[in-house]
Amino acid sequence: MSSAISAVLEKCDIYYDNALISKESIIDKYFSFYANSMDPSRRTVGITLHTGSVCFDVISVVAVGIGCLSYNLSTNDDILERLRIGEIVMYNGQRYRWRGTEYRNDSDSLYIKLEQDGVGKNGPSMRWLPYDRNKHRIFPYYGDSQKTDGRGVRRSKNSREKFLSIIFGIPVSEVPAQIDISVVVVAERNVFADICKKVCIEYNGGEYVNLLDIVPASYFTNSGVEYQFGSNPTKAESVIKVAGNISTARDLVLNNFGNKVIGLLVFGGEIPAGGSSELSDLLRRNSLKFVLLESPLQFGFGNKILEMYEDVSVFACTKEYLAVEQSIVRNSNKYTEELSRQISMVVNNVVVPERINGGFECETYLQIRYALLNIKQSNWREDLRDEFIVTAQGVLNLLNTAVFSMEEMEASIENRDVKFTVMSPRKRIEYLRELSDKAEAMQELCVMLTDILELQYNNMLTATPKRTFLHNYIAEHGLDKIAVIVPKAYYADILGTVVTGASYPPNVTYITPSRFEPKNDYDTVIVVGEINHRKFDPLNSFSSLHVRVLLYRCEEEAFTYRKKKVQTYTNFLNTKIGLSDKQSVSHAAMETERSEKEMQDFALLDEYINNFSSFDVYKFAASSRQSDGAAPVSEVTHVGTFTSGERVLISKYYSAVVFDADKGTVIEKDPADLVQGDVLVFTKRDDYTQNIVDAIYERLLVSGRLGKQSSELYEKSQYWKKCLREYKDKNKLTYRGVAKKLREYGSALQEVTVRQWLVEDSHIVGPRKVKTMECIAQVTQNPYLLGDISGYFDACRSIRHERREILKLIAKAINDRLAGFVPQKGSILEVVYDNIEKLSETKELEDISELSESVDVNINLVNRPITEAEVQP
């Protein structure tokens, strides 16, 4: 077969949301890059950095979805040869039993033999079909039904075979009925779903086909649960397998059951900060014929990969590249107009460092930073030393970025204008003094540093220079759409009341870097300090032509240093895409060499502080294993810190309950989806790994508020899991062993799914396919399960629905509590409200990070707020 992507380029037009996007010059070049990168004759690694337009995401998905078909390893003859006698197959939209092939009537012609159940008193019927004319019309059926009585399977009308025939230039009869390879895409579920729903391909002078008509696709949770995109009436294995994170993608790539995974596409936003050991492992796997990473343009993206692979292919929308690229819109619609605007933004974007008089003197600021370095290298007791460094750095960052006075902040906290717990700067300084008294040889240095911070705190008690600038700028640009980037979510609470009045001006948005949406369009983006975040860097922000960074003199050196590093990286990209030579890159590197030496120690200090939580949990896990090796543990993959100062260790399979104050809703999130500013809802109880939904559900059951039927359904939803656990323990099986046994009865479950079901802190209700429940019953041979498979399956479905309803009730109860409303006496909401009052606490994430390697931690310390004292050895 020829390259599928090249054929699409020549013969097709791609539409997104009924808008033609594939005729733009830059998109054409982007598509060509994918065509060159997905060459079946060689293994490739590619990196693409674009403007952030959805057009690039669409092309990436279409390219890997169709391009991977060039790697298909099976012909129709191969597919039919692998069929077993009696297996259910599809032919002309109906189910049949495969009865093999045979020659008929002493002729040389081979026929396909199909059987279908009889209707009424009629016995089974048999069909003989000429092999060569029908082999492409028969393919395996992967659904649960065993009936072949002539009732058809609803199948969306599509022109899959005709489309692929034209693309590959082969007869329709040679188009494979089944695809035996897959590609894994790492992306947000909603992003991929939107693309699948809205993308359409025009071919053959006016005929149309949807992507999901060509290749089936599914989303896999981190527990391995599969959710099908669109209709897949024959239940064929998905060609595109979507995962929300690298860890799940790795499980899919390594799974030996089913289609062979030959490619990987990773959307940049799903790559952990600092890279990923699991991604590095995947890059080294020769079984993957291509690995492609795509992202909006950001500094340092793919650096490690560029160092690892000298021949990596690069497509980069740098300012220099786009300056010579045609940005004239060929087919005008809202997406191509947006693309053109983004190109203009990149080319004409100006980052203005606004020097603000005030703040720390440069010498004083350096004195603080060197003092922190000396304390870090001291022999002071480690836990106190680290606590002092992190607290002092936090106060330093606050004083550098505050766009409100300290009095305004203290008053906002005292008046509870700040929605969630934040320690006041005054109390933080008092805490530093308490720690200084315990600093032994470092006491003098700690006292000196605390004195400097307190002096600056007093200088900013009634006013701050950055507050004055921000207030004046907003007043002078009253009609401009402005985004103000603040380091913490509570800044917005304070700014929304004391700086700009009782309500936000409609033209001004206060937002943290983690929640900044680069696709939004602003007249000006204002950054309140030298902020560098994974999801937002002012030096790579193209949501506005004008980006203004408010800097005290003490912040300018770090900003200048980073600016030079960004330019060096950009020069390197330009070299990779053929716009400059290596000499200019070396020259740029030499220009930053002096800054590199000056800033190296401070960069290591910042890294130490940023990794403080991760380092702490590894140390604690090691000591706890030594002290109590018999205690039950849970696999921790993420570590977070709350604005209240407490920490949280989050297990791999935990479902975090998150409250959205703006929308007034509550949802459950996987750990990988949590971001800074998320407000988590926890239970106050001994079983800390149980989330608030489970806690309230149990109370409603005990109180009889859900009725007798719900109690019976709940017991059934728990029973299947109990049976499977007992079977595992009795037969001394691993999770992989259980998965293997289930597959013997027709299940497609992976080890990771079984583990997710059976670990102690799992919140999975039950299987989502009745076939899976049947396999569990067959494996365990439990008479109750075997006698009522559909009943146990329906019970799980009912409990899952009731949990969703409780999430809505929790959201209303929290909103009512914050607003001071009291629910009607005797209502079910009153029960939820009382439990929210008595059992729950809300905590706002200040930061959240994924561990480079998971670690086992005592289960009593996982998935709940913990104090520093609780994690001390």
Q: How far apart are CA 480 and CA 506, in angstroms?
A: 10
Residue range 60-64: mean pLDDT, rounded: 93
Which residue spans within 306-375 are E strands per DSSP? Answer: 313-316, 350-355
Q: Tell which wins on pLDDT, 15 or 637.
A: 15
| Token pair recorded at residue 393 | 């750095």
pLDDT surpasses 90 at 779: yes
- % of the chain surpassing 70 pLDDT: 81
Q: DSSP label at 599?
A: H
Under the banding of pLDDT at 50, 70 and 90, the label for residue 848 is: confident
Grade residue 163 by pLDDT with cuts at 50, 70 and 90.
confident
pLDDT tens digits for range 73-93: 566 777 677 777 877 887 877
Q: Which residue has the tokens 């990196």?
A: 47
Average confidence (pLDDT) over 49-60: 93
Tens of pLDDT, residue by residue over 582-635, are 544 444 444 444 456 566 777 777 777 766 544 556 666 666 555 555 667 788
Q: Binning pLDDT at 50, 70 and 90, where does residue 21 land?
A: very high
Q: What are phi and psi of 508, to 5 degrees?
A: -115, 130
- Whether residue 873 is predicted with pLDDT greater than 70 in this model: the reply is no
Q: What are 327-377's pLDDT values in tens digits?
A: 688 999 999 999 998 999 899 989 999 999 999 999 999 899 889 989 988
Give mean pLDDT, residues 129-145: 74
Q: How far apart are the first and last CA of the chain?
A: 62
pLDDT over threshold 70, residue 499: no
More confident residue, 84 or 786: 786
Grade residue 265 by pLDDT with cuts at 50, 70 and 90.
very high
pLDDT score of 611 = 62
Whether pLDDT at 292 is above 70: yes
**Cα–Cα distance for residue pair 239/261, rounded to 1 Å:** 9
Residue 858 phi, psi (nearest 5): -45, 125
Structural contact between residues 3 and 12, judged by C-beta atoms closer than 8 angstroms:
no
Express each pLDDT in 680-703 by its tens digit.
877 654 444 456 677 777 777 777
* pLDDT score recorded for residue 293: 93
Q: Does the pLDDT value for residue 23 go beyond 80?
A: yes
802's CB contacts (< 8 A; 6+ apart) are 697, 706, 710
What confidence score (pLDDT) does residue 816 get?
65
What does the pLDDT read at residue 686? Answer: 44
> If you average pLDDT over each of 101-105, 483-487, 537-541, which comes out highest?
483-487
The mean pLDDT of 815-827, rounded to a whole number, is 60
- pLDDT: which is higher, 838 or 660: 660
Given pLDDT bands bounded at 50, 70 and 90, which one contains residue 872?
very low
Categorize the per-residue pLDDT at 679 as very low, low, confident or very high, splitting at 50, 70 and 90. Answer: confident
Show the tokens assigned to 759. Answer: 């670990």
pLDDT for 25 equals 92
Residue 629 is predicted with a pLDDT of 56
Distance, CA of 14 to CA of 29 (rounded, Å): 14
- Which range of 13-22, 241-250, 383-392, 613-622 scores highest in mean pLDDT? It is 13-22
The two three-digit tokens of residue 532, written as one number: 């560098």
Q: What is the mean pLDDT of the chain?
A: 81
The length of the chain is 873
Asked if 398 and 392 touch (Cβ cutoff 8 Å), the reply is no
More confident site: 277 or 379: 379
CA angle 302, 70, 305 (to 5 degrees): 10
